């Protein structure tokens, strides 16, 4: 976390308290609200907190995740409820204008929020390694699996056929896949290991499934890609060239929107923002600077 002071508090929502913190609260720039991935993960402030040198950067843990309350009714864990929760967070923060950043599942969540709520206060959005359509995500994972060693492919396919996701073979294959496509740092940083240790598997399983590439939850078949053309604010999509989020898929998503840009970080994967922090931060800072200036001048300036 940046040396700047982090102010932590709680946001009360209809279904429970959410952990929230802001870094750089006194900075003059347009605030940034960061939405974590998962589902069931938590906010990792590393790297992103460096953006607080220019602007307030807000983080919150979704219900059932990290430091926030658990849902009294597990049926809460659905895209629709989480969108309403995000709207509550935005209202509670009282920001007259701000930018949104979402990672993986968090990108789908902010895209759905933008499409359903159509907030005029959001000036730009950043989709990091985004899940925007489960069918295309699944196709990209199948292609990645086909490039894995034969023993890894065999263990994954046998685990899926038998429904035995806890077997040693499936778990070892899953980790081999993750070290190629989820995080390529060796070893994984301690804060990444700690965050994964706190993953709420009830949320993850209900919404997604037993692994990044085996999809059995509520998001199976969920697809926002046909609706992306409705997004007109500036959008930046980022990914690594080894990302779970396929480069070609994200190029198609970029082309579906009128004002979108795509940055592919070399030799990086799903957690590309912590694998290549300086490059990621430079790209994001340039995008925010250009996008917010464009909003003020109403002129198009390529990013």
Active site residues: 104, 243, 270
Which two tokens mark 33?
């609200």
Length in residues, the chain: 303
Closest by CA to 280, choosing from 234, 233, 240, is: 240
Residue 254 to residue 287: CA distance in whole angstroms = 14
Q: How far apart are the first and last CA of the chain?
A: 28
At CB < 8 A and 24+ separation, what contacts does 66-72 make? 66/19, 66/36, 66/41, 66/42, 66/198, 67/19, 67/42, 68/16, 68/17, 68/18, 68/19, 69/15, 69/16, 69/17, 69/18, 70/16, 70/200, 71/15, 71/16, 72/15, 72/16
């Amino acid at each position: 976390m940046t040396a700047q002071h982090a102010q932590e508090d709680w946001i009360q929502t209809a279904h429970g308290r959410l952990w929230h913190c802001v870094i750089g609260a006194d900075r003059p720039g347009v605030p940034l609200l960061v939405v974590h991935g998962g589902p069931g993960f938590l906010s990792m402030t590393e790297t992103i907190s460096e953006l607080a040198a220019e602007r307030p950067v807000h983080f919150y843990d979704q219900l059932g995740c990290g430091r926030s309350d658990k849902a009294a009714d597990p049926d809460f864990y659905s895209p629709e409820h989480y969108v309403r929760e995000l709207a509550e967070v935005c209202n509670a923060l009282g920001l007259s204008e701000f930018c949104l950043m979402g990672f993986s599942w968090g990108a789908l969540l902010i895209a759905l929020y933008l499409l359903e709520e159509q907030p005029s206060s959001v000036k730009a959005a950043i989709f990091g390694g985004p899940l925007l359509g489960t069918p295309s995500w699944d196709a990209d994972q199948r292609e990645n699996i086909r490039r894995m060693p034969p023993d890894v492919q065999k263990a994954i396919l046998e685990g899926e056929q038998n429904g035995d996701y806890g077997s040693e073979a499936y778990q070892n294959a899953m980790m081999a896949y993750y070290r190629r496509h989820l995080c390529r740092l060796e070893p994984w940083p301690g804060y990444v290991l700690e965050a994964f240790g706190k993953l709420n598997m009830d949320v993850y399983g209900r919404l997604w499934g037993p692994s990044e590439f085996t999809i059995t939850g509520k998001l199976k078949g969920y697809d926002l890609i046909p609706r992306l053309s409705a997004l007109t604010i500036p959008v930046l999509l980022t990914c690594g060239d080894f990302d779970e989020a396929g480069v070609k898929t994200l190029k198609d998503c970029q082309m579906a929107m009128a004002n979108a840009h795509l940055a592919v970080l070399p030799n990086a994967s799903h957690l590309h923002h912590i694998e290549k922090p300086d490059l990621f931060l430079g790209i994001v800072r340039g995008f925010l600077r250009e996008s917010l200036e464009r909003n003020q001048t109403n002129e198009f300036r390529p990013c």
